[in-house]
Amino acid sequence: MASARNSWLGTSVRHAVLLAVQIGAAALLCALLLVLAERHNRRYDLTPTQSFVLAPESRRVAEHLAVGARITAFYNSQEHGQRRQMKDLLDLFAQASPKITYRLLDLDRSPALAKKYGISSFNTGVIQLAGGETRELKAVDEEEIVNALLRMTRHQQRTLCFVVGHGEHSPQDAGDRTGYSEVAKGLEREGSDIRTLDAIPPEGVPADCTVLLLAGPSQALLPGEADQLAAYFARGGQILLMVDPNAPASIVELLAGYGVRVGDDLVVDERNRFYGADSFMPRVPIFDEGVFRKNLDTAAVFALARTVSRTETVPEGLTVLLLALSSPESWAHVDGGAVPEGDVQFRRDKDRPGPLPVGVMVTRSALPPAAGADATATPRVGRMIVFGDSDFASNLYLNLLGNKDLFMSSIGVLAEDQELVSVRRKGLPRSSLSPISLTETQGRWIFWVAVVGLPAGFATLGLAITWRRKRRTGT
């Protein structure tokens, strides 16, 4: 009996020691994982709008910050959810750059600091650089903070001049199909100043215009404007010109002088058209990776576009590079740019198969410095980007697939600003449902599977079960 009891006690002790060792090892492993998670914190956001992580361009701005910056945000103590959201956002900026610090203050309990910074409302604040410069934040959100950092740290101001006197899209127009107000807001949030010009001044394009934009002119250029454009381009000017199928002959002739051929056609994309839309909204999935630095990974969608390509002979001193191509399934409907009635079919003897060029960039080699000019100054290289459609950046289509990325990245290329040549994924509508774009083929598949196939399958299965039961019972 004593031997059996000792054996039982020995077994119990061994089991207890083994359990204690296992618990200790598990606790040590958990502690190790906590330490690793604390020192190498990673956040993964699987939401459609990426609401819980910084956008790539925001992180890039924070990481490239050369001086220290402190964010002071004022919150309402009665709104705990708002304070938590502000803290989470500021934590993301502090994690992106060690040069960014922040402090959260209750507006009602910090009247002295609020008065010092001129703050009188909740969810606002200021950013202070190490040098003493201060800028007010009208709202403590990601876009406002990034905009303030860009404006405070960029040494050279970027001014975008929109010419609107020839029927172009205006940045002040809020209309869905005609306006460019949404893209203007996006450019201003990223540190650009927007200016409109009714016409190109007789004395030439203003010297402070970083980029000159002509978004879909529908009226002829005024006498002398073509010469002023040529002079601006020759001295290193940057131009973004979007030419629609109804563009006047003076625009087509102007581009021909720069080695750009504007096609007398319409781009058709029957296979990739959107569900319920016509065939004249081609997808543009192919971009020059060298120019856009492999940042454009989503196709853009043009609306009623024409081809834009290189002429057979290019004037001396100019180079023309293809920037964007339509999908391989598209083709050019060659018929004077007129929209055909009814269904459109590919004509082998007349139309041209895709992929088709719908965007080019013209580069003028730098001219030698003029007499008396600073010989050590780096001469500017003139660039002109031409697209065969201007509606893709309108308020109605800007947030469709990669349209915003293409437009903003084109501005970044012309302005030589790498921070603008990137992908923007956080401009999507914030709702309970994620936006989705379907082609005609995908829409038909969903209809036949979800509306016809599944109900028919369940009905067939029910009839088969009923028939089988009746057969077994003999009724």
pLDDT at 63: 86
pTM over 0.85? The answer is no
Going across the sheet that includes 331-334, the strands are 265-268, 331-334, 352-353
Residue with tokens 């205006």: 170
Task: Between 13 and 394, name the one with better pLDDT.
Answer: 394
Spatial distance between the Cα atoms of 123 and 88, rounded to a whole number of angstroms: 14
Task: Pick the more confident residue, 359 or 370.
Answer: 359
Phi and psi for 153 in degrees, rounded to 5? -105, -15
> Cβ(276)–Cβ(262) under 8 Å?
no
Q: What are the pLDDT digits (tens) for 64-103?
A: 888 889 999 999 988 888 899 999 999 999 988 999 999 9
Residue 256: pLDDT band (50, 70, 90) is very high
Strand order in the sheet with 318-325: 192-197, 158-163, 211-215, 238-242, 382-387, 357-364, 318-325, 286-287
Residue 44 region by backbone torsions, left for phi larger than 0, else alpha for psi between -120 and 50, else beta: beta
Which residues share a beta bridge with 358? none
Q: What's the confidence (pLDDT) of residue 150?
A: 79
Which element (helix H / strand E) includes 239? strand 238-242
Q: What whole-number distance in Å separates Cα of residue 184 and Cα of residue 119?
A: 27
pLDDT in tens, 377-397: 556 789 999 999 999 999 999
Helix (H, G, I), strand (E, B) or coil at 258: coil
Q: Could you give the angle at which helices 225-234 and 249-256 cross, rounded to 10 degrees? A: 30
3-state secondary structure 168-233: CCECCCCCCCCECHHHHHHHHHCCEEEEEECCCCCCCCCCCCCEEEEECCCCCCCCCHHHHHHHHH
Tell me the per-residue pLDDT of 132-150, one tens digit each, with 9 for 90 and over: 788 889 888 888 888 888 7
Q: Give the other-Cβ count within 10 Å of 360's Cβ.
A: 24
For residues 278 and 352, what is the distance between their CA atoms, to the nearest angstrom? 19
Q: Stretch 175-185: mean pLDDT, rounded?
A: 89
Q: Percentage of residues in the chain with pLDDT exceeding 70?
A: 86
For the cut 90, the answer to whether the pLDDT of residue 326 exceeds it is yes
Distance of alpha carbon 357 from alpha carbon 307, whole angstroms: 6
pLDDT band at 367 (very low <50, low <70, confident <90, very high): low
Tokens 């609401």 found at: 51
Instruction: Determine the average pLDDT of the residues in 258-282.
Output: 84
- Tell me, letter by letter, the H, E, C secondary structure of 71-106: EEEEECCCCHHHHHHHHHHHHHHHHHCCCEEEEEEE
Distance of CA 132 to the CA centre of its chain: 33
Q: Quick one: pLDDT at residue 218?
A: 92
- Cis peptide leading into residue 455 (ω within 30°): no
Segments in 190-309 forming alpha helices (H): 225-234, 249-256, 289-292
